[in-house]
Amino acid sequence: MEMQGMKVILGEGMKVDVLDGAFTIHTDQPVGANGEGTAPSPYQLFLASIAACAGFYVKRYCQTRGLSEEGITLTQELLPNEAGRLGTVRIVIELPPRFPEEHKAPVRRAAESCAVKKTIANPPAFDVVCE
């Protein structure tokens, strides 16, 4: 697997942009953290990537099997631990009543196979250097 680099641009105020190929990912901090609230914070993007990844895997499962995606929703719940920090990320998949029973467990497994979740479960090493 070839890994690509991302370029970080420090903007005005608390804004930080990330250049990833043809994409620019904008971030800001909430007003309460001295930002302007013009974009999601990096932490919000991190959490959103988990939800979006699970949604992608559910979508791909349905598409590859010719199942309708209509009426399927995913909700991500962030449950605190005893210290008040993020303890559990729960993803609730709501399937329409007409969704085939035999596909319910495989849809759950598809969402669980999300690459973002797998990376968090087996975290990479971090190496920060100054040049």
What does the radius of gyration of the chain's CA atoms come to, in whole angstroms? 18
pLDDT tens for the chain, 131 residues long, are 566 799 999 999 999 999 999 999 999 999 999 999 999 999 999 999 999 999 999 999 999 999 999 999 999 999 999 999 999 999 999 999 999 999 999 999 999 999 999 999 999 999 999 99
CB 54 within 8 A of CB 91: yes
Domain 40-124 annotated CATH 3.30.300.20: yes
- For the whole model, what pTM was predicted? 0.89
CB 94 within 8 A of CB 108: no
